[in-house]
Structure 1
Amino acid sequence: MAWVIALLMLFAAVRLTLDRFRGGPQTVPAVRSSLLPPSDSSFLRGNFSVSPDGTRMASVALGLDGTSRLWVRTFSASGAQQLNGTEGAMLPFWSPDSRRIGFFAEGKLRTVDVGSTAVRILCEAPLGRCGGTWNRDGTIVFAPSIAGPLYRIPDTGGGVPVPVTSIPRPGSGQSHRWPFFLPDGKHFLYFVDWSTADDPQGNGIYVGSLDAGAPKLVSSELAGNVTFNAGHLLYGRDRSLRAQPFDLDRLQLSGTVVSIAEQELEQDPGFSHSEFSISQNGVLVFQSLADSTSTLVWFDGSGKELGQVAGRGYRDPRLSADGRFLAVSSDDARNGKHFIRVCDLARGSATRVSDGGSDESPVWSYNGDKITYGTFDGKSYHLEEVPVDGSGPPQLLVRGSAMRHLDWSSDGHLVFSDFSKGRPGLRVYSAADHQVMTFVTIGAEARFSPDGEWIA
Structure 2
Amino acid sequence: RGPLTWTDARPIARQIAEALDAAHERGIIHRDLKPANVRITPDETVKILDFGLAKAVAGDTPAQDPALSPTITSPATRAGTILGTAAYMAPEQAKGKPVDRRADIWAFGVLLFEILTGRSPFGADSAVESLGLVVMKEPDWSALPPSVPSHIVDLMKRCLVKDPKGRLRDIGDAIPILMQPDVSTPDPRIGKPARTGRAVLVGSAIGLALAVAAAAIAWSLKPAATMPLRRVDLPDGVAMSRSFAISPDGTRYAYVHDGRLYVRELAQTEPREVATAHPTNNYLFWSPDSQSLGFYAEATIRTVPAAGGPVLTVCQVPASGQLISVLWHPDGRIVFAVWRDSLYAVPSSGGTPEVLLAINVQTEIDFHETALLPDGRLVASVHLRDDDLARVELIDLRAGKRTVLTDDALVRDFRYAPPGHLLFRRVGTNLGLWALPFSENTLDLSRAVLLSPGATAYSVANDGTAIVQAEVLPSFTLEWVSRDGKSSAAAGPPIEELFPWIAVSPDGSRVAYVAGTARPSILVRDLATGADTRLTSEGVRGLNAALGGASMMMHPAWFPSGDRVLYARGQIEAAQLTSWRADGSGEPSTLTKGSLGRISADGKWLLWLEDVRGLGLLRYSAFNGSATVGEPRTPPGMEKVNVRSFDLSSDGSLLAYAASEESTQANVHVTAFPAGTPRRQVTNSGGTFPQFSADGRELFFLSGGRSQSGAPEGHLMVVPLTPGPSLTLGVPRALLTGSATPSGYDVVRDGRLLVARRPVRAGERPRALLVENWPLLLKAKSK
Residues 83-92 or 418-427, more deviating: 418-427
Question: 1:322 corresponds to which letter in structure 2?
Answer: D
Task: Measure the CA separation in 1 of the matches of 2:268 and 2:568.
Answer: 44
Q: Is 1:182 aligned with 2:373? A: yes
Match of 1:85 in 2: 276
Choose between structure 1 and 2: higher strand proportion.
1
Task: Measure the CA separation in 1 of the matches of 2:469 and 2:239.
Answer: 16
Match of 1:433 in 2: 628
Match of 2:357 in 1: 165
Q: Which of 442, 452, 456 is the aligned partner of 2:652?
A: 452
Question: Which segments of 5 or more consecutive residues in structure 2 lack a partner in the other structure?
Answer: 1-66, 76-228, 540-548, 658-783
- Asked if the contact 1:192–1:206 (Cα under 8 Å) also holds between the matched residues in 2, the reply is yes
Q: Is 1:279 aligned with 2:467? A: no
Task: Measure the CA separation in 1 of the matches of 2:481 and 2:274.
Answer: 31
Task: Measure the CA separation in 2 of the matches of 1:73 and 1:298.
Answer: 42
Query: In the superposition, relative to structure 1, how do residues 262 and 86 fare at CA in structure 2: closer, same or farther (>3 Å)?
Result: closer
Task: Measure the CA separation in 2 of the matches of 1:112 and 1:94.
Answer: 10
Q: Is 1:258 aligned with 2:456? A: no
Question: 2:618 corresponds to which letter in structure 1?
Answer: L
Q: Is 1:192 aligned with 2:368? A: no
Match of 1:130 in 2: 324
- 1:419 Cα deviation after fit: 3.1
> Identity, % of aligned pairs?
23
Q: Is 1:386 aligned with 2:580? A: yes
Please give the per-residue CA displacement for 1:46-92, whole angstroms capped at 9, x wherever unaligned: x333333445443333x4xxxx4323345676654433233231221
**Under a length normalisation based on structure 1, what TM-score does the superposition of the two structures give?**
0.72
Tell me the SS of whatever aligns to 2:647. Answer: coil
Task: Measure the CA separation in 2 of the matches of 1:109 and 1:330.
Answer: 35
- Asked if the contact 1:71–1:81 (Cα under 8 Å) also holds between the matched residues in 2, the reply is yes
Task: Measure the CA separation in 1 of the matches of 2:480 and 2:285.
Answer: 35
Query: In the superposition, relative to structure 1, how do residues 225 and 382 fare at CA in structure 2: closer, same or farther (>3 Å)?
Result: farther
Match of 2:296 in 1: 104
Task: Measure the CA separation in 1 of the matches of 2:649 and 2:426.
Answer: 40
Q: Which of 479, 503, 509 is the aligned partner of 1:318?
A: 503
Q: Which of 396, 405, 420 is the aligned partner of 2:596?
A: 405
Choose between structure 1 and 2: higher helix proportion.
2
Match of 1:443 in 2: 642
Please give the per-residue CA displacement for 1:209-239, whole angstroms capped at 9, x wherever unaligned: 4559343333333375332334234133326
Counterparts of residues 328-347 of structure 1 (less than 5 Å): 328-331=513-516, 337-347=519-529
Task: Measure the CA separation in 1 of the matches of 2:479 and 2:263.
Answer: 30
Q: Is 1:153 aligned with 2:350? A: no
Task: Measure the CA separation in 2 of the matches of 1:136 and 1:437.
Answer: 50
- 1:342 Cα deviation after fit: 2.7
Tell me the SS of whatever aligns to 1:352. Answer: strand
Q: Which of 372, 393, 397 is the aligned partner of 1:206?
A: 393
Question: 1:109 corresponds to which letter in structure 2?
Answer: I
Larger Rg: 2
Question: 2:416 corresponds to which letter in structure 1?
Answer: F
Question: Which segments of 5 or more consecutive residues in structure 1 lack a partner in the other structure?
Answer: 9-29, 267-274
**Under a length normalisation based on structure 2, what TM-score does the superposition of the two structures give?**
0.44
Match of 1:15 in 2: none
Tell me the SS of whatever aligns to 1:289. Answer: coil
Tell me the SS of whatever aligns to 1:256. Answer: helix
- Asked if the contact 2:579–2:591 (Cα under 8 Å) also holds between the matched residues in 1, the reply is no
Please give the per-residue CA displacement for 1:10-30, whole angstroms capped at 9, x wherever unaligned: xxxxxxxxxxxxxxxxxxxx9
Query: In the superposition, relative to structure 1, how do residues 337 and 307 fare at CA in structure 2: closer, same or farther (>3 Å)?
Result: farther
Task: Measure the CA separation in 1 of the matches of 2:479 and 2:309.
Answer: 37
- 1:139 Cα deviation after fit: 1.9
Q: Which of 310, 334, 343 is the aligned partner of 1:140?
A: 334
Match of 1:269 in 2: none
Query: In the superposition, relative to structure 1, how do residues 434 and 164 fare at CA in structure 2: closer, same or farther (>3 Å)?
Result: same
Task: Measure the CA separation in 2 of the matches of 1:443 and 1:369.
Answer: 31
- Asked if the contact 1:7–1:282 (Cα under 8 Å) also holds between the matched residues in 2, the reply is no
Q: Which of 396, 399, 403 is the aligned partner of 1:216?
A: 403
- 1:166 Cα deviation after fit: 0.7
- Asked if the contact 1:427–1:436 (Cα under 8 Å) also holds between the matched residues in 2, the reply is no
Query: In the superposition, relative to structure 1, how do residues 412 and 276 fare at CA in structure 2: closer, same or farther (>3 Å)?
Result: farther
Aligned residues: 401
Match of 1:370 in 2: 564
Tell me the SS of whatever aligns to 2:357. Answer: coil
Task: Measure the CA separation in 1 of the matches of 2:522 and 2:231.
Answer: 32
- Asked if the contact 1:173–1:421 (Cα under 8 Å) also holds between the matched residues in 2, the reply is no
- Asked if the contact 1:385–1:397 (Cα under 8 Å) also holds between the matched residues in 2, the reply is yes
Superposition CA RMSD, Å: 4.1
Question: 1:181 corresponds to which letter in structure 2?
Answer: L
- 1:380 Cα deviation after fit: 7.0
- 1:151 Cα deviation after fit: 0.7
